[in-house]
């Protein structure tokens, strides 16, 4: 799926599906992954130790196989955003966005490229405008680029309408770990306060025709909670990560084989999926 198609679906409310790709530098694993039914592949340069070369290789590889590459940059810095788009990222996710000024600079860095410097700053400030010819060029040049902002705090939720209304944002990334921490209920993902806050964000995004998704191993949510999120209009489906899904599936299958072989009762083997085995952001 192209970036233009992803962008259109985010706004229309159609769902797009993907996962966080962590097993980056194994070309055989990447080749196998292109056989997955992914609309997009998500790469994180905020929390994961990925350099520019690795980012570019994976963006180009997945894009060549019809899977739109999305890169989460470390912060709203326009230089970091430019490095990701130059690497081949179509979607840009910027974490922990809370102000309109941040959004304006993020959108300009993605959708006004290659314009930089004083001209871009003057346009952002509303003191200058591009010529019609340049407007047409920028629209065509950046047709596959889309912007997803991270709404990951109480302050961002409270300021949501300002961040998304008419700003050029295409989607909203909800970070459950950071949101629950900001709310003072860390990792209480079934807490009604958290669920209601997420539902509110989803509804407000869809009212503005903005895509919205929650980064989580979605099937580990209670069924009724996941169904409520989908019914509310969640349409950017970012489900877990390749390595955590592999771990959980492998554990389940090996446990079943052990049971069939009579080695241990089914479910008696250590359930690593139920433990928090690291502090990296791979969900």
Q: Contact 194/180 with Cβ under 8 angstroms?
A: yes
Residue 105, in any domain of the structure = yes
184 within domain boundaries: yes
pLDDT at 110: 98
**Residue 282 placed within a domain:** no
Confidence class for position 150, pLDDT limits 50, 70, 90: very high
pLDDT grade for 220, boundaries at 50, 70 and 90: confident
Minimum mean pLDDT range among 13-17, 68-72, 137-141, 264-268: 264-268
Q: What is the dihedral of CA 269, 221, 24, 85, to 10 degrees?
A: -170
pLDDT tops 70 at residue 22: yes
Average pLDDT, the chain: 91
Q: Is pTM beyond 0.85 here?
A: yes
Any domain includes 281: no
Q: Band of the pLDDT at 172, cuts 50, 70, 90? A: very high
Q: Is residue 283 part of a domain?
A: no
Give the pLDDT of residue 35: 83
Domain count, the chain: 1
CA distance 182 to 147: 23
Residue 54 domain-assigned? yes
Which tokens sit at 271?
């359930």
- Return the bridge partners of 20, or none: 42, 241
Tell me the DSSP string of 196-210.
Answer: HHHHHHHHHHHHTT-
Beta-strand (E) ranges in 16-154? Answer: 16-20, 40-44, 68-72, 91-94, 146-151
> Residue 25 sits in which domain range?
3-274
Residue 280, in any domain of the structure: no
CATH number where 188 lies: 3.20.20.60
Q: Is 41 contained in some domain?
A: yes
pLDDT digits (tens, 9 = 90+) for 30-61: 788 778 889 999 999 999 999 999 999 999 99
Coarse DSSP helix, strand, coil percentages of the chain, rounded to the nearest 5 percent: 50, 15, 35
Residue 47's nearest CA partner among 74, 71, 18 is: 74
Between CA 204 and CA 138 the distance in angstroms is 29
Tokens, residue 16: 């797009």
Instruction: Enumerate the β-bridge partners of residue 214.
Output: 174
């Amino acid at each position: 799926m192209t970036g233009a198609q992803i962008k259109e679906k985010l706004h229309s409310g159609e769902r797009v599906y993907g996962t966080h790709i962590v097993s980056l530098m194994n070309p055989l694993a990447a080749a196998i992954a292109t056989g997955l039914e992914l609309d997009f592949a998500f790469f994180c340069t905020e929390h994961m130790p990925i350099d520019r070369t690795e980012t570019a290789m994976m963006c180009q590889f997945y894009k060549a196989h019809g899977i739109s590459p999305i890169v989460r940059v470390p912060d709203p810095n326009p230089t970091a955003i430019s490095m990701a788009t130059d690497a081949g990222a179509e979607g840009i996710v910027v974490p922990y966005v809370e102000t309109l000024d941040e959004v304006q600079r993020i959108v300009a860095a993605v959708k006004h490229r290659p314009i930089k410097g004083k001209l871009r700053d003057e346009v952002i400030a509303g003191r200058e405008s591009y010529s019609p010819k340049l407007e047409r060029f920028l629209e065509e040049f950046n047709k596959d680029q889309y912007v997803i902002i991270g709404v990951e705090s109480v302050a961002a939720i409270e300021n949501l309408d300002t961040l998304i209304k008419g700003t050029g944002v295409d989607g909203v990334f909800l970070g459950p770990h950071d949101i629950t921490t900001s709310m003072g209920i860390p990792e209480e993902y079934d807490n009604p306060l958290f669920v209601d806050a997420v539902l509110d964000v989803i509804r407000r995004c869809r009212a503005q025709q903005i895509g919205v998704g929650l980064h989580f191993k979605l099937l580990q949510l209670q069924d009724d909670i996941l169904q409520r999120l989908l019914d509310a209009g969640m349409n950017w489906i970012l489900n877990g990560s390749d390595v955590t899904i592999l771990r959980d599936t492998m554990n389940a299958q090996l446990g079943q084989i052990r049971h069939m072989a009579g080695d241990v009762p089914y479910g008696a083997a250590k359930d690593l999926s139920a433990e928090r085995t690291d502090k990296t952001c791979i969900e």
